[in-house]
Amino acid sequence: MLPEELLLLTSQGDKNAFRQLYEMFNSRVYNTCLYYLQHVPDAEEITQDVFIEVYHSSAKFRGGSSVSTWIYRVTVNKCLDKLRYNNRQKRFAFVSSIFNRDTGALQHDKPDFNHPGISLENKEKAGIVLNAIRQLPENQQTAFILKQVEGVSQKEISAIMDLSEKAVESLLQRAKANLRKILGDFYNQNEGLDNN
């Protein structure tokens, strides 16, 4: 069954259709969340939020874009909201109870993230790249994650981000250039990486 049909049935309260829609998109939504948030519990929470939003807003879907585009748009917006919320929490962390008394670590600092889909031999380098992605501006992050990680077409990215295809192309170029710069700086600061 097509996603549009499943969404229509979902809007009529068909839980089975909703389950099929979930099966169709859950890995795309979860994976996108993982790259943005780099924290498994946060990614699971936002995946839940996305599908709950999809369920409750299914009746409002007018078909102006594909279901996939719409679900990606909801996912991106929810992830960016969560990232902003996390950043606000970090900013105010020093005002509230900043330090965990046992370890002295910042309560809002998240541990290093290991993406479950990355092979063991690539984990270290991928960790550095993920850190670099986090340093990109929001719109560059979105363009890069959707294109490089999710393999979404430039046309669909432009629909998701509500930008022209040219603007998306420019964002991607800037994202790649910035990533290369961040990674290059990391390399310069850590001599001997070339031996790895």
Partner 1 sequence: MDNNSKNRWVDEALDSINNAYRAMPDDALFNKIEQRLNVPFTKKKVIPLRIVSAAAACIIVLIMTNIYTIYIQKGSNVGRDGAQSVAAYYDINNTANEIMGL
Point out which residues bind partner 1 (CB under 8 A).
15, 19, 22, 26-28, 30-31, 34, 43-44, 47-48, 51-52, 55-56, 115-119, 122, 125-126, 128-130, 148-149, 179-180, 183-184, 187-188, 191, 193-194
Task: Using the minimum distance from each CB to partner 1, give the nearer residue, 149 or 167.
Answer: 149
Task: Using the minimum distance from each CB to partner 1, give the nearer residue, 92 or 99.
Answer: 92
Asked if 133 contacts 147 with a C-beta cutoff of 8 angstroms, the reply is: no
Q: Report which residue type is found at 193.
A: L
Tell me the closest approach of the beta carbon of residue 45 to partner 1, in angstroms.
9
Task: Using the minimum distance from each CB to partner 1, give the nearer residue, 99 or 184.
Answer: 184
- Residue 99 pairs in a beta bridge with 106
Q: Which of 78, 74, 72 is nearest to 156 (CA)?
A: 72
Asked if 79 contacts 37 with a C-beta cutoff of 8 angstroms, the reply is: yes
Asked if 34 contacts 16 with a C-beta cutoff of 8 angstroms, the reply is: no
Tell me the closest approach of the beta carbon of residue 180 to partner 1, in angstroms.
6
Q: Which of 18, 15, 59 is nearest to 6 (CA)?
A: 18
Task: Using the minimum distance from each CB to partner 1, give the nearer residue, 56 or 155.
Answer: 56
Tell me the closest approach of the beta carbon of residue 5 to partner 1, in angstroms.
20
